Amino acid sequence: MSEILNTLMQDARIWQGHRHVQTTQTAEPTGYQVLDNQLGGLGWPRGALSECLLDAPGIGELHLLLPLMQRVCTEGRTVFWLNPPHTPYAPALAREGVNLDQVVLVQTEDEGDFLWTLENCLRSPVTGLVVAWPGKLASREVRRLQLAAEAGSNVCALFRERRYAEQNSPAALRLELEPDEHQALKVNVLKRRGSWPGQRCSLDMAQRADLSFRETTRIVQGPWSDSTG
pLDDT computed for residue 180 by the predictor = 81
Tell me how far apart the terminal alpha carbons of the chain are, to the nearest angstrom. Answer: 58
- Domain-located, residue 56: yes
- Domain-located, residue 18: no
Low-confidence ranges of the chain (pLDDT < 50): 1, 4-21, 209, 214-229
pLDDT computed for residue 11 by the predictor = 46
The three-point CA angle 141-114-170 to 5° equals 25
Q: How many structural domains are present in the chain?
A: 1
- Domain-located, residue 13: no
Give the CB-side neighbour count of residue 74, counting CA atoms within 13 A. Answer: 8
- Domain-located, residue 14: no
Ramachandran angles phi, psi of 154, nearest 5°: -125, -175
> What 3-state DSSP class applies to 158?
strand
Is residue 132 within 8 Å of residue 156, measured between CB atoms? yes
Which CATH number is 150's domain given?
A: 3.40.50.300
pLDDT digits (tens, 9 = 90+) for 127-184: 999 999 998 888 889 889 999 999 999 999 999 999 999 888 889 999 999 998 777 8
CA distance 97 to 208: 12
Domain residues for 68?
Answer: 26-224
Residue 83 corresponds to which amino acid?
N
- Domain-located, residue 97: yes
